[in-house]
Amino acid sequence: MRKKIAAANWKMNCTLPQAEDLLNKLSTANVHVTEEKISIIAVPYAYLLLAKQILAAKQNIFVAAQNCYTKKSGAYTGEISAEMLQSMQIPYVIIGHSERRDYFNETNSMLADKVNIALEYNIQPIFCCGEALDIREAGTQNSFVEKQLKDSLFHLTNEQIIKVVIAYEPIWAIGTGKTATNEQAQEMHQHIRKVLAGKFGNDIANNISILYGGSVKGANAEEIFAQPDVDGGLVGGASLNAEEFSTIINSL
């Protein structure tokens, strides 16, 4: 059975005191998490160990990095490697977020390399895919997302792909206040699962968690998560409020 996941992406937010305060609130929040309903908190690199320390006693809430580099080590100033994340026992890493693709020119090929090295070091990728507004308006979103998946994930074995979490994020709904309708979210999640099934088989596709990312809030999380192929959310702005994000976790 695939996991239900409420994942927080803090992006480049929070000073150290703010991060400590938010983590402390999350560590004492009344949230219902189990082995099958988990939460993942993706914090800036500087706060990875702090997050692990504060959340250590909280079962089924895990810490994630927001990115990793394609190489094991070397002269890559400012980057962080999967080997470093493994040494800190970080179990998840976000790969291919639309902001990384857009602002840092990350290609499908580069993201394939990042997925490879994350898996090599036993870190589960949260692989992001999704279309911009012009692609949605042209009606070509299905083929666009399918190409992202094929270019970055279809080289994986069945044993590898089952470790990947997919996050579908319609770029036009990130931080804009716009949200895909429940029907739009379900349609794309169903399409993603069908694409995965075509390559890896129905059994594997039905056991891969696919999250929705795009202006998820406490007020709309429950109805979005109720869609049959939506297994939770990758949450940006709303995850910076402990009470709001707790509501989202409990909406799983």
| pLDDT averaged per 10 residues, the chain (length 252) | 96 98 97 97 98 96 98 97 98 97 97 98 98 92 98 98 97 76 94 98 98 92 96 96 97 96
DSSP assignment string, 208-240:
S-EEE-SS--TTTHHHHHTSTT--EEEESGGGG
| Cα dihedral 94, 95, 97, 100 in deg (nearest 10) | 120
Query: What is the DSSP code (8-state) at residue 247?
Result: H
DSSP 162: T
Q: Which CATH superfamily is domain 4-249 in?
A: Aldolase class I (3.20.20.70)
Name the residues annotated as catalytic.
Answer: 97, 169
pLDDT at res. 9: 98
pTM above 0.85, yes or no: yes
pLDDT at 173: 78
- Alpha-carbon distance 137 to 157, whole Å? 34
pLDDT of residue 81: 98
List the domain boundaries for the chain.
4-249
Burial (CB count <10 Å: 0-12, 13-18, 19+), residue 146: middle
d(CA 163, CA 146): 19
Nearest to 180 by CA among 143, 146, 227: 227
